[in-house]
Structure 1
Amino acid sequence: MTTEQLYNELNYVNHSREKRLFYANLVIANPDLIPRLLDILFMVDDKLSPRAAWVLEFLCSQDIEPIIPYLDNFTLNFHKVHLDSAVRPVAKICEALATHYTSKTSHIIQTALTETHKERIIENCFDYMITDGKVASKAYSMTTLFMLGKTVNWVHPELKIILERDFHIQSAAFKARARIILKKINKKKR
């Protein structure tokens, strides 16, 4: 399938779990589509960019390993994504990477995710935290930052500052997640 053919297929992707799962499984079965999917995701002003993000998010939730060969491309370019409906799945993919990276059970992401990848993810998640974006991307980002902050010592103090500063001006959903993260950061200090 060419990039153009995949682009046309993405017209059929919608918010339904069924459609996103169908196309995620299509890409899992054909991993050579991942770079094409990333190309479409990084057409950041295109209406199908979010749909590519939805499929990539579902792919990563099903099986994160296929993205490993493309971590350089993903982490180098994901900061360009700006449409809210594409930012949320990108933030969720970052959270999935951080979850596998910090897992107590051995996972291939622990060796595949380089310091450069982590730096890019941390930088991008902090950007999501301080910009006017949707609360979902902020929630995924604060969780990602908390997890990666276990291995990068300056992250937790910076995250704590942002959470405490923004706590009173954010939504109830932000406050709920922030309370959990702040409790974990404070507990870690003891």
Structure 2
Amino acid sequence: MIAAEFQKNLDYVSAYRASRQRFADEVLHNHDLFPELVRLCFETSDKNHPKACWILEFVCYQKLEWMKEYLDFFCSQIKNIKEESAIRPVAKICQLLIKSHYKKGEIQLSEKHLEEITETGFDWLINDTKVASKAYSIRTLYLLGKHYDWIHPELKTIITKDFPNHSASYKAVAKEVLKKIK
């Protein structure tokens, strides 16, 4: 499948897990599609860019190392994602990258990458994004806070302030992280 055909086929991706996985499998079986997928994720004027983000998340679960050569682009562009259905998978990819950087060491993020992920994570946390994106951001920022001592106090302040105004799922993640911070 060529890139143009792949881009056109995004019209047929649905939110169903099987649909997202089917397209992720196409990318996993044809690595040549990966650069186009990453590009499409940040083509915010394209109506299918959130679908590309959904697929990228699934690909990253299995082949996170493919992101290595796209880290500069990915980290510099995440702040431009504004559509809610694209933020959630990108926030999850950020969490996967940070976990890999600190725990497994497979992905080595530069100081600039870490700053861009931190800044965007706080933006998603304090702005009006959905709970899943906030939850991924909280967990990502918690991990970053183990290495940057200013993050945990900021994170604690934001979580504590916002706690009463959020859903049960936000509160569950907030309690989990607050226990770890103390």
Question: Same fold by TM (over 0.5)?
Answer: yes
Corresponding residue number in structure 1 for 2:38: 38
**Structure 1: tracts of 5 or more residues without a match:** none
Q: Report the alpha carbon displacement of residue 2 of structure 1 after superposing the two structures with TM.
A: 4.4
Verify: 1:174 aligned to 2:157, yes or no: no
Corresponding residue number in structure 2 for 1:115: 111
Corresponding residue number in structure 2 for 1:58: 58
Corresponding residue number in structure 2 for 1:9: 9
2:145 to 142, 146, 149: 149
Q: Report the alpha carbon displacement of residue 37 of structure 1 after superposing the two structures with TM.
A: 1.1
Verify: 1:129 aligned to 2:139, yes or no: no
Could you tell me which amino acid in structure 2 is paired with residue 136 of structure 1? Answer: A
Q: 2:2, 2:29 → 1: CA distance?
A: 15
Could you tell me which amino acid in structure 2 is paired with residue 108 of structure 1? Answer: E
**How big is each residue's C-alpha offset from its partner over 1:57-93, in whole Å with a ceiling of 9 and x where there is no partner?**
0001122111111011100111111111000000010
Could you tell me which amino acid in structure 1 is paired with residue 67 of structure 2? Answer: I
**Structure 2: tracts of 5 or more residues without a match:** none
CA RMSD of aligned residues (A): 1.3
Q: 1:135, 1:46 → 2: CA distance?
A: 25
**How big is each residue's C-alpha offset from its partner over 1:126-181, in whole Å with a ceiling of 9 and x where there is no partner?**
00001001000000000000011111221111111100111111111111100000
Q: 2:45, 2:87 → 1: CA distance?
A: 12
Corresponding residue number in structure 1 for 2:25: 25
Percent identity between matched residues is: 45
Q: 1:125, 1:63 → 2: CA distance?
A: 23
Corresponding residue number in structure 1 for 2:88: 88
Q: Report the alpha carbon displacement of residue 12 of structure 1 after superposing the two structures with TM.
A: 1.8
Moved more, 94-103 or 29-38: 29-38
